[in-house]
Amino acid sequence: MAGPLPQQFGKYTLIERIAVGGMAEIYRAKTFGAAGFEKELVIKRILSMFSADDEFVRMFIDEARLAARLAHANVVQIYDFDRVDAPSGPSYYIAMELVEGKDLRFLLREGAKRQRFLSLPQAVHVAIETLKGLHYAHTRTDGGDALDIVHRDVSPHNVLLSYAGDVKISDFGIAKAVARASATSNGMVKGKLAYMSPEQVTGQPLDRRTDVFSCGIVLYEMLTRSRLFAGEVEVEVIGRVRDGTVPPPRLRNPAIPEDLEKVLLKMLARDRDARFPSAAEAARALSATSVYSANEAMTLGDFVAEIFPPGTKPPGAQPKQEAKTPMANPPSNRSDQPGPAESGAATVMLEAPVIPQRPAQAAAPPVTEQKTAILDTNSPAGAALQQQIEAARAKVAQAPVSVGPSVQVAPQAPIMEQKTAILDTSSPAGAALQQQIEAARARVAQGAPPAAAPIMEQKTAILDTSSPAGAALQQQIEAAR
């Protein structure tokens, strides 16, 4: 948002920009009323590129309306949805509770630098309080009908810790709309892969147990002080999440008692039927472990204040500005129209750092998105196409390479690298493709002849269409389709 702060934004006064994420700007703000009333809160303003997307706005409003019904001590409260009309177009925003403290991601990162870590009882306390908020949302009803709210994005940056020792989870209902908005035309979904469940990363329908798994990842990392599903590239992370292989926590931290390890591994079971059926069951099991303490809220608040003393800011944060008293309770531009907010790309914390926006690049790389091609190599066209792909790979492998300014590359190598596509089965196209894949696999498993099972396996190729060979190969793929 252009212009100096503070500035008026609908019925709110923006005081300080806290952070900029991929989909929204986050501001500390105030609202004013009669007799000197004022209240601090957070404004999450959707970036203009998404506010102009009617489908995203519609989905976001639907999800945000559900999230606004949540009122629980372990859930960040949503106060308001609206939009402010400007010459450049409508600006949608969400007004939400301001939590004085830090998010878990910053706390773990800074604590590791100082070799100061959450104790085992503190880590279990954070997980239990998070599970309480999740269970409340999972079981919400409207007139007796289940709302079926699933968070989908339980990760350290969405777990907020206050100086008073409160634990709150943020951005309920946001992840679903954002996942749909970030899907490419062929159904691929992008997200924080390292905190997804196996069923989420493979595009299956989700229920509350996916949030239990994600909370288990967060607890695992607090207890072991290490990443669970780490990888150098996305495809490596996806493979590890999909396989669901979890190293025993006690191998990484022998101080973890066996009873706690048993509960954690059940939260992280690859088969969702082997997990706790609800967040409440997981919370009860953690409460029964030998490290549980009912008095960790105060020690947690002290730990947050020790790592991040109140009033301090991380490097790069904007200096605080005092707001000028605005006109009392100015009218909203559209009080009857709720608006959306951004996903977990930026946190709702008061002291979060500002992430500079990247300048626009003049030249985009030749590969702008990932596409997945499923080849029927039993057909003549598919077999010919497979041969060309293998020949291109061979050129890459045989390309001469030298160190220094005279580095040589294969000019005709159209295949740059392999990546994995995740289907968004909530879209009609994604659901239809998933059904075809499952049907083909079933036919193969039943011994169907090759002609009856055209889909043998999934292979992903990313083409450099700026090369002649890549452009020609792309034309053949399109013609085959």
The answer to whether 80 is a known catalytic residue is: no
Matching residue, tokens 């204040």: 305
Whether the CB-CB separation of 99 and 301 falls below 8 Å is answered with no
Separation between Cα atoms, residue 342 and residue 49, nearest integer Å: 12
Matching residue, tokens 């810790």: 161
Determine the distance from the C-alpha atom of residue 53 to the mean position of all C-alpha atoms in its chain, rounded to a whole number.
Answer: 20
Whether the CB-CB separation of 201 and 445 falls below 8 Å is answered with no
Separation between Cα atoms, residue 194 and residue 226, nearest integer Å: 12
Q: How many residues does the chain have?
A: 481
- 6 prior amide bond cis, ω within 30: yes
Provide long-range contacts, Cβ within 8 A and 24+ apart, for 409-413.
411/467, 412/467, 412/468, 412/469, 413/464, 413/467, 413/469
Measured CA angle at 171 (ends 105, 351), to 5 deg: 45
Whether the CB-CB separation of 212 and 275 falls below 8 Å is answered with yes
Strand-pairing partners, residue 463, are 415
Beta strands in 141-232 (DSSP E): 141-142, 145-146, 159-162, 167-169
Strand-pairing partners, residue 415, are 463
Structure tokens at 30: 């105030």
**Catalytic one of 82, 103, 153, 171:** 153
Separation between Cα atoms, residue 357 and residue 25, nearest integer Å: 10
Separation between Cα atoms, residue 304 and residue 309, nearest integer Å: 8
* Residues assigned a catalytic role: 153
